[in-house]
Chain A
Amino acid sequence: MTLTAFLILLVLAVTGYVMNRRAASALTADGTRLHSLTHFHGLYALLTVLVPVFVLICLFLILETPIINAMVMAGLPDGALDGLDTGGQQLVLAEIRSISRGRVFGTPEDWKLAAADRLVALYGWFDILLIVTVIALSLAILLFTRRRVAAEFRARQASEKIVTGLMVACSLIAILTTIGIVFALVFEAWRFFQMVPLTDFLFGANWEPQIPIREDQIAAEGAFGWLPVILGTIVISFVALFIATPIGLLSAIYLNEFAPHRIRAIVKPVLEILAGVPTVVYGFFAILVVAPALRGAGAELGVPISPNTALAAGGVMGIMLIPFISSFADDALTAVPRSLRDGSLALGATRGETMLKVLFPAAIPGIVGGVLLAVSRAIGETMIVVMAAGLMAKLTINPLDSVTTVTVQIVTLLIGDTAFDNPKTLAAFALGLMLFIITLGINVLALRIVRKYREIYD
């Protein structure tokens, strides 16, 4: 039905274009000189119909389901929802919805069947309402624009104003996304901190988010101290950086100073391939190859290595970060002015000495910026650790042990769970907020370092 609405809108908008253009052409045929080209008269009609009605349809789509749900729930007989919490009410609604789609399990109560009928009827009415509104509004606007076609009407300015408005709206979406992220995280995290005190979360050394779902269930009370989780993140990121930084920097040094053009032409694209591999593939690689290999090596050496060792996840993450660091370092080295390199070589330094004692120190700010961005990536990386790291939070810095990370906890807490009224799911948002703050802080710092460094030479 939505598709029909969009199609009707499109047809009417194009009709408006053709109509107004024809009308404008008719004016010119009479010998009148128009202010704007006939094409702009058409475009003005097209845009004035398209934009508001399109927004209306989108708003309708967003609001339709919540409104209908509320109407159905409000229309239930008295007492049907007595004694049910939010989750129970959601279940009733889900059952009514599945009945309305013809999937009936067992014999539902009569009032549920009636509610399902009501749901279907409401959707029918809303569809008719949508179509009628779209047609009426579009035609009204068409009529309005058609009457504005005149020799002195500034159709070009008018339609350009609309286009500018559209472009501003597009740029605002970027801001809206950020506001949406911050608002969603802060709002849900605030609800979490009403159930679990902020100090418990920040300074607690126990992370056991399993909580009883029903009243009579026997389970741990749940502890939400994020220290072991962030410590695990730090351990895995450290392992990753320990591998990625030297390899990335050394390959950048080789590529920048020593590599013949032909080798550079091969190596750069191959490193880009390494950067383009999806992280879920790296995760599978970690559990298929790296973790068993590490465990085998540990058994040979007599060192007990956990199956979910931080070494496997961190190591594979390090491989993922190699191209990232190497391309950043390569750019930073290239940005060092030619004169420094030439001066050093002219004084008799070898190319190696020039690299290590002149170019590298000069490029340090850019390189540090790149490594910091890699750190923020390592902290925010999800799939590798979800697949290869552990689930249990342990307060340990032993990389052979199994540790968990912030992102692993976010994903495991939210997979298959939609109830937003318990600390277990809301804890994921508190972790997400911390993750967002940390990565944002590192990113801002890194960009500032990179920018400051550029100002020196430009």
Chain B
Amino acid sequence: MTDMMDTSANAPRRTSLKGNSALVARRKRRERLLMGVGLGAILIAFTVLFILVASLVSTGYTAFVQTQVTLDVHVDPAEISEEQLPRGGFQNVLTRSVLDLLPDADPETDLRAVRGILSNGAQFALRDQVAADPSLIGQTITLTVPLSDPYDQLNKGNINRDTPESERRLNDQAVVWFDQLDQAGRISTPFNWALFTNADSRFPELAGLKGALVGSFWVLFICFAVSFPVGIGAAIYLEEFAPKNRVSDFIEVNINNLAAVPSVVFGLLALAVFLNWFGLPRSAPFVGGLTLALMTMPTIIIATRAALKAVPPSIREAALGLGASKQQVVFGHVLPLAMPGILTGTIIGLAQALGETAPLLLIGMNAFITSAPTSPFDASTALPTQIFIWADSPERGFVSRTSAAILVLLGFLVIMNALAIYLRNRFERRW
């Protein structure tokens, strides 16, 4: 086709497309190239997602089990007496029962090293058991307690036995001891319930997510309790009642802009207004929930307005025609029909709020707190801030704990999004 312009040639030009087959082939090749590059771009995104999940699973799965050792503990009345409870030489008693299992360990010189085999939390487990039942004093009881982090990592294969002793966290003697315990059938690796029933701890083998889970629950609860009614109220007013004037335009622009304000700015707002001016408590899930509510509100307003818009005018007209007032139409007919869409948007907004970290850092929800909060006004962490704290901790055990916490967080997000999709498919009506 392009050659038609060439008038200098005398011979009649062939106008068949066949003559341009080389050109067509080149153009087709270019198209395939574009297709290939596009597919490649998607593959890159997929690969990264795969690496992300794979690295989290491969480092995190070991934290879902915990290495434990079963000991025959003689609760020695010389160390532990009923009058002194809950004080007593629980650690000495435990160390002695480990020494009994290790024939070649010297009770004098190796005492410290053998004590290090057990987790620091072991003595408290024994203490609580004896304190609950003082008649155990003088008896021999069977007790299963967690091992300390280095031995836990050795059992899970995170410490390589082939690395030279000087570069390993455990010396050869420690490895031998561990193998002796293992051969005696004392080592077990059950599911790590402590990950969900313990709060945070300095010791990785004892650290759990309970405080973070309870904290996140309160944060989300407050966030929902504030943002859901306020968001729906604002959306109904703007969509159904507000006169179309400068003021409602201004509110609309405002809401769209709020949705794009960086989350850390909301943290600054919370710090200056909620904590500094109103004097609300620091690190409290109540303040975290309020802050996230301000961030979630635009999402809910936008979703609610879309859901209200999707309800056909015939519904409104029918209700109006039967003599209902404008508010009766909205609250009695339009709102119930729009509810599935509103709930879907709300759940997605809450899922975003659950993963939000930066504003919570600024209001101090990254404190080290070893007990779960009992009310939304107690100092607490939340799941994402707990991940941030653990990611900062240098101990090896916290790496797998961090990945495990992330997997738990992602699990919750998947559940919430699945719920949103289910609601959308099950209840949303197409008109």
Contact = CB atoms under 8 A, between A and B. Distances in A.
Contacts of B210: none
A278 interface: yes
A96 interface: no
A167 B406 contact: no
A185 to B, nearest CB: 6
A435 to B, nearest CB: 6
Contacts of A436: 261-262, 265
A55 interface: no
A301 interface: no
Contacts of B214: none
Interface stretch (B99-107, B164-172, B350-358): B350-358
A184 interface: yes
Contacts of B356: 278
A125 B362 CA distance: 33
A156 B410 CA distance: 48
A352 B265 contact: no
Interface residues of A, number: 91
Interface stretch (A7-15, A61-69, A75-83): A61-69
Interface stretch (B6-14, B89-97, B119-127, B252-260): B252-260
A435 B257 CA distance: 14
A178 B258 CA distance: 7
Contacts of A38: none
B284 interface: no
B136 interface: no
A interface majority secondary structure: helix
B318 interface: no
A432 interface: yes
Contacts of A270: 45-46, 49
A236 interface: no
B233 A383 contact: no
B357 A288 contact: no
A353 interface: yes
Nearest to A322: B45
B358 A276 contact: no
Contacts of B276: 418, 420
Question: Looking at chain B, what size class is its interface with the partner chain?
Answer: 35 or more
Given A350-B27, A435-B262, A174 B45 contact: no
B276 to A, nearest CB: 6
A320 B416 CA distance: 20
B interface majority secondary structure: helix
A35 to B, nearest CB: 13
Interface string A117-161: 000000000000000000000000000000000000000100010
B137 interface: no
A355 B34 contact: yes
A415 interface: yes
A432 B273 CA distance: 14
Nearest to A287: B391
A234 to B, nearest CB: 15
B159 interface: no
A248 B10 CA distance: 51
B221 to A, nearest CB: 14
B31 A281 contact: no
Nearest to A166: B233
A19 interface: no
Contacts of A253: 34, 38
A407 B265 CA distance: 9
Contact of B251 (A62, A171, A322, A379): A171
7 contacts: A167-B234, A171-B238, A178-B257, A255-B42, A274-B49, A352-B33, A381-B262
Given A65-B280, A174-B298, 11 more contacts: A170-B233, A173-B230, A246-B41, A258-B34, A278-B356, A285-B56, A287-B391, A352-B30, A386-B358, A407-B358, A411-B362
10 shortest interchain CB distances as A-B pairs? A380-B262, A254-B38, A278-B355, A352-B31, A170-B233, A167-B237, A250-B41, A184-B272, A382-B358, A170-B234
Interface of A: 62, 65-66, 69, 156, 160, 163-164, 166-175, 177-178, 180-181, 184-185, 187-188, 246-248, 250-251, 253-255, 258, 267, 270-271, 273-274, 276-285, 287-289, 319, 322-323, 348, 350-353, 355-356, 373, 376-377, 379-383, 386-387, 407, 410-411, 414-416, 418, 420, 428-429, 432, 435-436, 439-440, 443-444, 447
